[in-house]
Chains A and B, each alone.
Chain A
Amino acid sequence: MKREASLPRADTPSKDAAAIVLKYAAGTLTVHGIDAGHEIAERFAGQVKWDTRSHCFRCAGHLYALIVKWLVRSGLPFDDQACNYERLALEYNSGGRSSRPYQREALADWLKEGGRGVVVLPTGAGKSLVALLAIADRQRSALVVAPTLDLVRQWYDLLKAAFGIEIGLLGGGEYEIRPITVSTYDSAHLHVERWGNRFGLVVFDEVHHLPSPSFQLAARLCIAPYRLGLTATPERTDGAESCIEELVGPIVCRRDIVEMTGEFLADYETVRLTVQLTEAEREQYESARQTYLGFTRRHGIKFNGPKGWSDFIKRAASSREGRRALDAYRVQKSIAIAASGKMATLEELLIKHNRDRCLIFTLDNRTVYDISRRFLIPAITHQTKVKERSEHLKLFAQGVYGAVVTSRVLNEGVDVPEASVAIIVSGTGSVREHVQRLGRILRPRDAKQAVLYELVTGQTAETGTSERRRDHLAYR
């Protein structure tokens, strides 16, 4: 197929002979028919390399669009045997769910960037609808990649309802590729070498997961010219989000919670409740804290540096004193995150909101089960069986249960629009986690007024953790 358009298209076949041939080979794009001294080497220096074994140029699949564009602009005829995706004739059924102005603007901004880029919208604002609009607009074979099986199931239902066709599935024991397919990140990176040329559009849901070394492969080895990333929180603490721009595109549209609250998201307030340690807890806390801080001071370990924590672990493992310090660190942390005062406050909040739907979040599973036992509230952790988890969420949505306690498994993705109260018993210092937890209660529903409570143990390291995770517009 000879290409003439500015972007590769699957519908412009030409039988003309061409000197240059593009092929897809196990995640890479090979360029045949030119010699090692060809100008392509200079134009794509460092990206396209001469492969002495195959006597052709070779590069990662994601450079396909760039190379095709360059060949077209350079007026070099070429035979595209790499592209194996289809032009579809999808009929989009909105199901009475009309798009909102900001969703249409997001699509327009993405198209303006050549169909590459990341849309940043708060949880509950309808990011998935932007993806449906993009698939309907581009009409190319599309792959949607999501981080969890729960999300894959949600996408499967959504796509099937929107386009009325059978949807392919990769992951969770399924392996079926169709013109529109949903995959987990795990399955996508494991199998991309086989079908990396069969999709013209890839949607990366919760795209902040993409920078992990293995997940990157899903984007790096496929040729899709159109790429859409969706997230509420693109920033990562390790700064690795820069690769998202390379593999998916720049942020094309960004809306934050504050500007959307009221009109498109539920109104909300955040309340920080400080509790105090009991005398016995304080004594134990201070003793443990002194042990571990003394060790870190003696060894010049600074936690504000990028390697502070790993330095501490490394030094702690190499001596008896270090291991005592590590144990002390764990003790003081567990006292702070599960102070008895938090349980008393939680009890009050559960009574106060006994007519609302409350999501209770903790840092660890032990606290989840402690709360579940103490207050007889359904728990959802990674150990909860799928059937029971679905049952809990169904009864919670119906209002049969008034609260659910969880650690991190409900942080992202799972749709619980009925929830209006979030109680953060404990958490990490991650801004993303905190914003995601807030997002769980913001999906608009019947003039809902949402409230997020954060329980913090005063005069402990938890106050600093709380400050760090609140470093976001949504909490100002």
Chain B
Amino acid sequence: MCLGIPGKIVDVYTANDLTMGKIDFGGVVREACLVYIPDAKVGDYTLVHVGFALNLISEQEAQETLELLREISEIEEKLGPSQ
């Protein structure tokens, strides 16, 4: 239940006074409520739980995490293999 899935927002609209969106999960498109991410726009990535988008995914933070891990990898190469 707490396993959210990342998806790309492909449409934003209003239904029953709620901001809703179509989210593309790697080819499968489903509806989600966007009321908790008021800044969301088409093209953004978000994480959806039980039909509600809970946050936008930060591209910058995602890149920084991957960069950090790649740096560890470069340092490891210099140090040689672990035990």
Chain B associates with chain A: no
Q: What is the interface of chain B, defined by CB distance below 8 A to chain A?
A: none
